[in-house]
A and B are shown apart, each in its own frame.
Chain A
């Protein structure tokens, strides 16, 4: 069921000038910060715990609990992850360009709650306009007294640095992001320690939170954690910004109440996705970024709920839904996703570095009509070497979760569309039509 709850993180985006300080102040901006500074850091933390805000980056770890795990130390850092690169995900991009002050305010409040005096926003390098808007927002926030020494007359001081990435998917992994922020290659760090809250930036305890997570904080402080927790259902509280793409009539971003909205609503509701393009039948959809196993028409009535999607064998992940209609070639789709992982593997771990390359090449030869029947088993064997047992959630043989994300699309594709894979082999080529160019 589609509810008409007012949006939280996208409330301002209807305004042309939503990125400016003027518009931000005219729409409740920095009131959350003022309120937070009248509370103790512990009270702010308690409101976020009460909200049960799940991290919006992909793993869905409760934000408040992450903050509780910080090792006590004299220096603590806050790093905001704005390195959005999970294919088909574009909600952080939107928030960075269109409401940078909301991120800055959430960052300041969070830094106050965890006792950080230095924060960073790691912004994906390809977001040139986003970097300009964030930098301007920091300049303006300083001028407004919301950053720097004695914020809004309090005894809390904070500096915030906007840091550009340089093009590497792996830097969205929080320990790789910290390495990159230290001026190094984006190599994920060996675990344990499992959380940067123990050993993070420059070896100090660090909280790494996603851009959308930060964007929810001002509203939570203004309205109280209970008001946020009243939205959604079960552990999936609040609203979420979903990114819808692929073969739908109305690709775009839609902020809806979590859990209560279903995939069918998101894809077919005339106010949201508006249905599969040209009235075609739905073949499959990816429920949460390309690392997630695929879903099929029988999953349409499931709510956009982290636990429900997890139990059904996939994940809500980064909140991006890719729709594939009946003309889509399952081999080509699985190949393109695998090729991405091949290109973006950092190369530290053999199963990921070599496995992704094998899978990319085998899928490519099947699509090109040069495949063999036994290639299907070979693909599954390669996947099994990356994530033994091919279970969900996947087992891990590598330093980070990039590797274990590779099998998702291949296993989904072969299990559901085995005949289509074999037809490629039998016919010596792709039996599906080429992709149609979208004209606008």
Chain B
């Protein structure tokens, strides 16, 4: 835990390589690091900084701006209940209240066993399925009180392992194409993308 593993370092270098400037890889690499440890560790942020050519403080300062990036540990399953207007009209605050009671925690907290974090989310763009809930950014909905209980039981008993990876794992499909090393020489007019590759 903590430092990027050799496998993730290889993936990180491949991600850096697709951008014209390496700092652009900062957020994708934070997602990668979060996929490894469930949140952003100090050591991983140092690795991201080195790979992007910035200071660790810049990585933390950038990451802290974004809701999805956590610099403190969270549960294996982060359950986000949308309470924005469309979901609120469908009873989202009642569902969120039920969720807090059922898990015995307040929004923003994690259960003592480290399994669940519950969050009040802004609109997740699932308004036709209000009340809309995401678990580790996988969509569920419409969710009512009973539906929430079933969801939590399914998660606790591992019945959704394939659908919902542990927190932090975002995109399980890797880009397999167009990496600079595999590209043939640039063609004529409008040739292969120019890559600057250097530090910004």
Contacts and interface: CB of A to CB of B under 8 A. Distances in A.
A208 interface: no
A279 B173 CA distance: 45
B188 A167 contact: no
A75 interface: yes
Interface stretch (A139-147, A216-224, A295-303, A377-385): A139-147
Contacts, number: 238
B68 A166 contact: yes
A167 B187 contact: no
A265 B65 CA distance: 41
Given A157-B191, A185-B61, A168 B66 contact: yes
A135 B85 contact: no
Contacts of B84: 87-88, 290, 336-337, 340
Contact of B66 (A156, A157, A167, A290): A167
Interface in A232-277: 243-247, 251-253
A239 B21 CA distance: 38
Contact of B187 (A150, A159, A333, A337): A150
Contact of A322 (B31, B86, B136): B86
B79 interface: no
B127 A245 contact: yes
A148 B24 contact: no
Contact of B20 (A92, A142, A202): A202
A34 interface: no
Interface in B22-38: 23-28, 30-31
A435 B89 contact: yes
B21 A159 contact: no
Interface in A325-341: 328, 332-333, 336-337, 340
A108 to B, nearest CB: 12
A157 B190 CA distance: 6
B174 A337 contact: no
B137 A128 contact: yes
Contacts of A126: 68, 124-125, 134, 137
A115 interface: yes
Nearest to B67: A167
Interface in B170-200: 170-178, 183-184, 186-194, 196, 200
A438 B131 CA distance: 7
Contacts of A127: 125, 137
A148 to B, nearest CB: 5
B18 interface: yes
A155 B66 CA distance: 40
Interface string A57-97: 00000000000000000010000000011111110110000
Contacts of A184: 23, 26, 62
A159 B178 contact: yes
Interface stretch (B4-12, B91-99, B104-112): B91-99
B178 A142 contact: yes
Contacts of A162: 175
A155 B190 contact: yes
Q: How large is the interface on A (under 10, 10 to 19, 20 to 34, 35 or more residues)?
A: 35 or more
A155 B192 CA distance: 10
A183 B194 contact: no
Contacts of A89: 123, 125, 127
A165 interface: yes
Output the residue of B26, B85, B142 with the most chain A CB within 10 A.
Answer: B85
Given A88-B123, A157-B187, A340-B84, A125 B31 contact: yes
Contacts of B171: 128, 131-132, 135, 164
Given A149-B187, A159-B18, A166-B30, A90 B85 contact: no
A440 B28 CA distance: 37
A182 B125 contact: no
B123 A87 contact: yes
B34 to A, nearest CB: 9
B88 interface: yes
A180 B171 CA distance: 18
Contacts of A304: none
Given A165-B27, A290-B85, A437-B94, A251 B130 contact: yes
Interface string A303-339: 0000000000000000010101000100011001100
A174 B187 CA distance: 31
B69 A438 contact: no
A435 B94 contact: yes
A439 interface: yes
A169 interface: yes
A434 interface: yes
A243 B127 CA distance: 8
Interface string B30-74: 110000000000000000000010100000011101111100000
B142 A182 contact: no
A396 interface: no
Given A88-B86, A168-B65, 19 more contacts: A75-B194, A85-B125, A87-B84, A117-B192, A125-B66, A132-B172, A135-B173, A149-B183, A156-B190, A157-B187, A163-B28, A166-B31, A166-B66, A167-B69, A183-B54, A322-B86, A340-B85, A343-B122, A438-B130
Interface of A: 75, 84-90, 92-93, 115, 117-118, 124-129, 131-133, 135-136, 138-139, 142-143, 147-150, 155-159, 161-169, 180-186, 202, 243-247, 251-253, 286, 290, 320, 322, 324, 328, 332-333, 336-337, 340, 343-344, 346, 434-440
Q: Which 3 A-B pairs have the closest CB atoms?
A: A437-B91, A167-B67, A183-B26
